[in-house]
Structure 1
C-alpha cells in the first residue's frame, strides 16, 4: 500500500476535517505541506498536524514540493485559479465544494485536465457512505422497481452573524447561497442515485438574510427515468435537517441526518407484498461505512493507486454544477429549464446569477441578530 504525499491549501475549519480524516487512513497519506496567507493560522495548523512544509501561497508550495495530491480548502472564489495551477504543474487536485463559480470555469478546468496528465475531483462525500453505494447498486439492478418520486430537503439555519465573514453571501466570491454552497451535497447525492435530470422549474428568494445571494430555493425536477423530485434548500430553518426520500415501485428508502449519515440513519419501507424481497436486497452487500471525507479519501487513494480518474470526476462535478445553474436560471426567468440548455450564449454560463438576481437593486435587510452560532459552521 502506497503512502501518498498530500498538501493542504487553506488551513481554516474545513482543513482540520481533511487533516483528521487523512491521518485516520492508516498511513495511506502523509501531509507534507500546507499553505495559507495567514502565517499564524498556518503555523497553528502545521503544529497541530505535524506538517513540515509551510508556505505563504500555492505557487510557492508547488515550486518547492512535489505532492501526489493537493487538497483545496480555500473559499470558492479562489478554486478555479488554484485548480488550474495544480493541473498545469501536473499535480492531482481534490477541491472542496463548490468546485467553481460557474459552468464556464468547469469547462476551462476540463480542458486543462485533458492535457495535464493530472486529475481533478470535487469533495462530494455523501456519495461514498455504504448505504448510498448500496442504493445506487440496487437502483441499477432494478431491485426496488422504477424510481417514481423523491424528496430532497436541506433545511439548515444560519443567523445573520454567519454572513459577517467577508466572502459569504456574495455571488462574486461564493457563487450563490444555499443552492450553491449548502444543499449541493444532498442533491448531488440525489443526482448520483437517480441519474440524468431533464428539466427543472424553480424559485429562489432572499427572505431574511443580509446577502446578495438567495437564502432559500426550491425546485421540481423531472428525471430521464421518469422520476419526479422536489428539492428545497434553506438557511432559515431553526429545526435543522437533511432529508432524502426515494419512492420506488416496491419500497420507500429514506435517510435523515444533518452533516453526515451512517447506516443507522437509513430506513427502508417495503410496499405490501414485497417485504421479503426488499429486506433481502437491503441486507445484501455494502454496510458499515458512514458518509464523510474519510470515505471519499479512501476511494480517492484507491483510484490514485490504480492510475484511474479520481472520484468525483470533472464530468460528474459539472453535471451537478449544471443543475445549480439551471436552478438559478429557472428561478430568475420564471420558466422551466432543460438539461443542456445553458451554453456559452447564456448569461448563467459565466455567472450563476446570470444578469443579476431579481432583488439585486434592493438593499438587503438583515433579520434581528441571533446569539446562537451556526452549528458545525466549518462544514457548510
Structure 2
C-alpha cells in the first residue's frame, strides 16, 4: 500500500480552502497532516472541516513535523520569508500567487531553492488544465505553425468593500493591483504557451477603486518568436470574463471562462487546409474528463506525479520568475512611459526592489507604500 504524501498548510484563510479541497480530492495519494494560523480559532475550525491531524500556533512547530509539502496560503508579503524557512528545513513549498512582492524577493527564493536543492513551486494552475496541456503538446510538435497574434484578458470586477481588508490594494503588502493579484494567472498561461517575451509597452491607471495600486493595466508584448500579444488586467469590469486567444499559422485556439476552465470552454478553429488539426483536437478532447477544471487539484496532481517519478515539478521558482518579471516590466513601462525589455530590470533599478518603483503617478489612499 502506498503511503500518502503528507501536506501541511500555512494560513487558513479563503484561498487555503482551495488547497485543502484539492488535497481531499486527491486522497489517498496525499493527506492534510497539519495546519497553522495566527488565528487559533480559525485554524481549529479549518482543521476540523478538512481533517487535519494537528493544529499549530507556530510555523516552526509545523515544520518540525517534517511534512512532504507545505502550502503557503498567507498574505503576499509573507510568502518568501515563510518559503525560505521551509526550504532551509528541507521541505518543498507550494506558494500562492504572487510568489513574491518584487524581483529582489524572487531572486532570493530562487537562490535558496538552488542552494538547498529543495523545490519552491508557485500556484499557476491554469497551465495544468487538460486543454492547455494539449495545446502545448501541439505547439511542441510544430503542427500549429508559428505563433502570430495573441490576446489575453482578465476583465474582473471588485467593489470598494473588497479592499476593506488592510492588506489589499497596497504596494507594500500585496505587491500590486490586478496585474499582480488577478490577471497574473492568465498571462502566466500566455507566457507558458508563447515562450520568452522580448519587450513590453504598457499603461496603468487607478480608474475607480480606493487603492494605492492600479485597478487596470494594459500591455502590448513582443515575443522572441516574433508573436505579438495584448494583455489587459482589470478589476473594474462588471461583466466578468477571462479570455485567451492564440492565433497560429494553422489554427486559432481560444478559451473563455472566469476562474477556471473546463475542456468544453475551448474552441479550436483550423486555418483552411488544416482541418485534420481540428479533428485531432476534437478526438483528444473527447477522452478528457469533462468535469475537470484548471484548478489547484490539477496542479497538485501534476506535482504528485512528478514527485512519484523523480521529475522536477512545476511551476519552479526560476520559471515563475519570468512571469513576475513580466509584471514588473508592465509597471515599469507604464510608470516611466517607455518600453521595457526582458532583462532591463536589474538590481540597481527601483522596479527590482518593488513593483511601484517609487514612481506611481497618483497619491496613496491606504497609507504606507513600498
Q: TM-score by structure 2 length?
A: 0.95
Shift, 1:309, TM fit: 2.6
Is 1:265 the equivalent of 2:265?
A: yes
Note if contact 1:198-1:338 (Cα within 8 Å) is conserved in structure 2: yes
2:32 corresponds to = 31
Q: 1:294 aligns with which of 294, 297, 300?
A: 297
Q: Secondary structure at the match of 2:31?
A: strand
Please list the CA deviations of residues 3-28 of structure 1 after superposition, one character each: whole Å capped at 9, or x if unmatched: 11110010011111111111111311
Instruction: Map residues 230-249 of structure 1 onto 2, 5 A cutoff.
Output: 230-249=230-249
Is 1:151 the equivalent of 2:181?
A: no
Note if contact 1:79-1:99 (Cα within 8 Å) is conserved in structure 2: yes
Q: Secondary structure at the match of 1:71?
A: strand
Please list the CA deviations of residues 215-272 of structure 1 after superposition, one character each: whole Å capped at 9, or x if unmatched: 0000000011111000000000000000000111111111000000011000011122
Is 1:346 the equivalent of 2:349?
A: yes
Please list the CA deviations of residues 181-230 of structure 1 after superposition, one character each: whole Å capped at 9, or x if unmatched: 00000000000000000000000000100000000000000011111000
Return structure 1 stretches of 4+ with deviation > 6 angstroms: none
2:307 corresponds to = 304
1:51 corresponds to = 52
Q: Name whichever of 249-258 and 274-283 sits farther off.
A: 274-283
Q: Distance in 1 between matches of 2:306 and 2:279?
A: 32
1:14 corresponds to = 15
2:107 corresponds to = 107
Note if contact 1:204-1:332 (Cα within 8 Å) is conserved in structure 2: yes
1:375 corresponds to = none
Gaps of 5+ in 2: none
Shift, 1:315, TM fit: 1.1
Q: Distance in 2 between matches of 1:219 and 1:310?
A: 30
Q: Secondary structure at the match of 1:218?
A: strand
Q: Distance in 1 between matches of 2:148 and 2:354?
A: 33
Root-mean-square deviation over aligned CA pairs: 1.4
Note if contact 1:171-1:352 (Cα within 8 Å) is conserved in structure 2: yes
Q: Secondary structure at the match of 1:203?
A: strand
1:194 corresponds to = 194
Shift, 1:2, TM fit: 4.0
Q: Distance in 2 between matches of 1:307 and 1:271?
A: 40
Q: Distance in 1 between matches of 2:70 and 2:8?
A: 5
Please list the CA deviations of residues 317-356 of structure 1 after superposition, one character each: whole Å capped at 9, or x if unmatched: 0010010000000000000000011110111101011123
Q: Distance in 1 between matches of 2:312 and 2:106?
A: 16
Is 1:124 the equivalent of 2:124?
A: yes
Shift, 1:46, TM fit: 0.7
Q: Distance in 1 between matches of 2:278 and 2:335?
A: 42
Gaps of 5+ in 1: 365-380
Note if contact 1:138-1:281 (Cα within 8 Å) is conserved in structure 2: no
Q: Distance in 2 between matches of 1:356 and 1:99?
A: 22
Q: Secondary structure at the match of 1:139?
A: helix
How many corresponding residue pairs? Answer: 362
Q: TM-score by structure 1 length?
A: 0.93
Shift, 1:287, TM fit: 2.8
Q: Secondary structure at the match of 1:273?
A: coil
Shift, 1:176, TM fit: 0.2
Q: Distance in 2 between matches of 1:56 and 1:211?
A: 32
Note if contact 1:143-1:278 (Cα within 8 Å) is conserved in structure 2: no
Q: Secondary structure at the match of 1:48?
A: helix
Note if contact 2:12-2:73 (Cα within 8 Å) is conserved in structure 1: yes
Note if contact 1:143-1:281 (Cα within 8 Å) is conserved in structure 2: no
How has the CA–CA distance of structure 1 residues 249 and 282 changed in structure 2, closer, same or farther, with 3 Å as cutoff?
farther
